[in-house]
A and B are shown apart, each in its own frame.
Chain A
């Protein structure tokens, strides 16, 4: 049913945002197959397990064929119905102007592919870039004036260094980081804990729109999904994946920023904690000395740590050359 519109969609997508022709764009059929697969979860497979299979096979359809939910003598009526519903859904998303990326899409952010929680799909609103180095700036919703000042300084330093400012569009630190990036002409990327059609908190509606217009919004949930505790945790993992490092500006003992710092260490992504976080939290103290964790006492410290992180590929290749030639 999609053949008529697919070619047009592919053409319009590949012409956008400076992506080269030949970047893989999943067809609406493939998108619908993925949605149906995730909604029916044949054999009780979890989303991460299904995602691993899809990545191994580099195909959604061959995973479905292997699981055979609609094959054989007696087609599975549940899967058939899910597929039919999914076909309507992906078309409606497209009509609404939502960009739906499967993990197989060439425009699915490469950095997120790195992490083991890479979501099977992402909704995107804004400009997807082939390469988008940035840092996550995260912290408390109830930040102190000092914390807000640091967030502003770190975001300004990121813009100055041509780095994208990634945040979660929550109140407090997140909001200041993005507003600073916007006011200085930087690129904001918001990784949100709700569906792409939702705004949380409601007070950030304008900021959402500006981030989408001048940067990018990403959501890993169904478009109308409401915020939940677990959605913010999942979002933190995705945010850690998108950036080259996470900077925790100010956070309490039970802040979501704590979760992101822990997750980033488990990803092998560098974490920069301000001395504010280390001084005031037990979890901050316990992260000192863990792999990839740096403590910063000034904006300059953050800038230096990020310079080092950015040059890691050069550092590795220099060290390897010396090792091999020794």
Chain B
């Protein structure tokens, strides 16, 4: 029923605005942010932050492209929902926010993940948890909107260590899912704090045969205890959330 799709999307878009637009903020891609992770660069005049500089210097571009749906802040509804949707009994509003955001984004912006030489994404997976949390609902929430793509089983390695540094050996593709070989993988994660885990996972996918990896992260975490963050929020995060703004470009689609 292709004719009904615009309507359903329109309803979802409005629900995102009504229920989360007041506390979510679109990610800014531009001179004010790191061109790699949309975080706040430590030094003025640099296009990437020091952490991303470090990753790139050590390992090159592990993911080919990154998109972020929203910023999330500790001590605000955005941050609380990113913690709480993973609870064993999650508060209803947190699950609702995640569901609506994934529905709106994967309907509208999946095509934006196309790679200049590898084309549209051809398979998907999520960054597995290293903290031993058995319950990780992101894949289940996203799956209904990615039904046409094969799923790749990316797992935490038996000797995985959550070190907040690049460690590709933390992740391994198993044969429970589709073959990763030659795929352009959409790699989903919930939160980018330092980026070490999603970048390591992207590197592991390529090591195991992926042709390209596009990361889509729900929330770019900002550290509100930094003065620079407060100034950034005041200057740049003044508009309510708009689901038509592209997580990859920061422009309306």
A residues sitting closer than 8 Å to B (CB atoms) are 48, 52, 55-56, 58, 110-111, 113-116, 265-268, 270, 290-292, 312, 315-316, 318-320, 322-326
Contacts and interface: CB of A to CB of B under 8 A. Distances in A.
Nearest to A58: B88
Contacts of A268: 18-23, 77, 93, 97
B91 A323 contact: no
A326 B79 CA distance: 32
Interface residues of B, number: 42
Contacts of B238: none
A292 B8 contact: no
A312 B80 contact: no
Contacts of B18: 268, 270, 291-292
B22 A323 contact: no
14 contacts: A52-B80, A113-B84, A265-B23, A266-B76, A267-B23, A268-B18, A268-B22, A270-B18, A291-B19, A291-B21, A292-B22, A316-B96, A320-B103, A323-B12
Contact of B22 (A266, A312, A319, A325): A266
- Residue of B5, B7, B22, B93 with most partner-chain A CB within 10 A: B22
B214 to A, nearest CB: 21
A270 B18 CA distance: 7
A290 B91 contact: no
Interface in B54-96: 75-77, 79-81, 83-84, 87-88, 91-94, 96
Nearest to B73: A116
B240 interface: yes
Interface of B: 1-2, 4-5, 7-9, 11-12, 15, 17-23, 75-77, 79-81, 83-84, 87-88, 91-94, 96-97, 99-100, 103, 107, 144-145, 147, 240-241
Given A55-B84, A113-B91, A268-B20, A320 B240 contact: no
A242 to B, nearest CB: 12
Contacts of A326: 1-2, 4-5, 8
Contacts of A115: 77, 80, 93
Contacts of A270: 18
A319 B100 CA distance: 10
B147 A324 contact: yes
Contacts of A266: 22-23, 76-77
A202 B17 CA distance: 42
